Amino acid sequence: MRIIAVRKHKPQTWGENTVKPRGPRRRLPTWLPFAAAGAAVLLIVAHWSLTHPWGTRPAATILVLGVDDARDGLTRSDTVLLARVQVKPRPRITLVSLPRDTRISIPGHGDHKLNAAYALGGPALTRQTVEQAAGATVDHTVVVNGAGLADLVDALGGARVTVPHRMDYDDTAQDLHIHLQPGEQLLDGRQAVGFVRYRSDGQGDLGRLRRQQTFLKALARQAATLGSLRRIGAIDAAFHRSLQTDLTPRQILALAYTMPGLSGSDISASTLPGRPRYLHGVSYYIADLSSLPDLLSPEGDPQSSAASSDNDVTLAVLNGCGRNGYARRAARQLAAAGLRVTQVANAPSSACPQTLVISPDAPHCRSAAQRVAAALRHGKIVVAPDRTPDRSLEIIIGEDFHPSPGF
């Protein structure tokens, strides 16, 4: 018998310097580069879409209308303002309030108060009226329902504002109850509605317009915080309950994406210059509508508007009427309107028949002078070209001045 020996082979081990045999080379799928390129294109398109709500334009003008409850079967616009919303080269919002009593020509209806345009033809006719009168193109419209505004404020987490003075007002018929103490505070939705609707401080609609501007700036700052993104579901639901707009969902999402980080200096507000006047027994606001384009884009440079804001102008109030305490009462009235009074003193002459608002020849000072005259309901604006265009106005209280009730 033949015996065959079988050798067992030890498994081969590979040393550090031993070259391992290469296995079959794996090839990338041919579709992978195309998929990666497609994903990159989608990301670029998505980013562009989220950072360009107005397409290739850097800004858009939005007409914002706050409507009240129907009276006599008609709904009127209680608030009318234009907002220029800029996203390039940096985010910025410019607000211009148009007093609702502004005397204006409504196409097809003749001269009326501005708020009548909504009653006669809704947001479309109001938009046409503003564009025709001011020569300013309106790109979009937002209609805010007052009843839903409280929900929107609560969804955003409130609005932090400074209440200038005590506010107490009750109207059972409208279920409107306003009780606010002075000072900085976080207002909930119900309190915010009271803040923007209050008008019992002797300043009427002009005082309310300034509070609405203060509120809108506070609301914009709150909406721009990163914390609001955590409440996006509640905000979206409240948004649809309280607002009616032709802005697309993509544009709204893009604004939410680009506006976080907006600071107070990036939001400016002003009121269309003019003065109250009675015509044929009816109270109107006679406004300079031709100034709207400049107010929406100060000096033609969006970045210069922060530097030229009339909010930074200081006021020296001088008593020239010969009646004790009238300069101080005027100063309180101006402070309640959001203007900065830094000096109260006597004028060189105590026999000035007319209140004068003396302003340097600078756009921000002229704008502040219009606000002063509107707040006092008196005052001839005198532009002094020889004055240094710093940031100060001189107001001489004349014999024609009568303080508003409460001041």
What is the model's pLDDT at position 125?
Answer: 93
Same fold, 59-300 and 310-397: no
In CATH, 59-300 is 3.30.70.2860: no
What is the model's pLDDT at position 129?
Answer: 92
d(CA 276, CA 236): 39
Integer angstrom CA distances of residue 11 from 5, 7, 16, 166, 229: 19, 12, 16, 93, 62
d(CA 58, CA 294): 17
pLDDT mean values, one per 10 residues, the chain (407 residues): 55 55 61 59 56 80 79 66 85 86 90 91 92 84 80 83 85 76 88 81 68 79 64 70 82 73 71 82 83 68 43 84 90 80 85 88 78 82 70 88 76
Q: Where do the structural domains in the chain lie, given as residue ranges?
A: 59-300, 310-397
Q: Up-side HSE of residue 42: CA atoms within 13 Å toward CB?
A: 6
What is the model's pLDDT at position 302?
Answer: 38
What is the model's pLDDT at position 16?
Answer: 55
Encoded tokens for 267: 């939001």
Please, where are the H alpha helices in 262-362?
Answer: 292-296, 326-336
What is the model's pLDDT at position 270?
Answer: 80
d(CA 241, CA 65): 15
Encoded tokens for 86: 């800029």
d(CA 385, CA 230): 52
Angle, helices 232-242 vs 146-156, to 10°: value is 170
What is the model's pLDDT at position 395?
Answer: 92
What is the model's pLDDT at position 390?
Answer: 62
Q: What is the pTM of this model?
A: 0.58
**Cβ–Cβ under 8 Å, residues 113 and 104:** yes
Q: What CATH architecture does domain 310-397 belong to?
A: 2-Layer Sandwich (3.30)
Cis (ω within 30 of 0) for the bond into 89? yes
What is the model's pLDDT at position 109?
Answer: 92
What is the model's pLDDT at position 305?
Answer: 41
Encoded tokens for 114: 């501005």
Dihedral of CA atoms 244, 132, 56, 296 in degrees, nearest 10, equals -90
Look-up: residue for tokens 């009816």? Answer: 282
Query: What type of residue is 325?
Result: G
What is the model's pLDDT at position 124?
Answer: 92
Q: CA 386, 388, 393, 398 torsion: positive or negative?
A: negative
d(CA 223, CA 229): 8
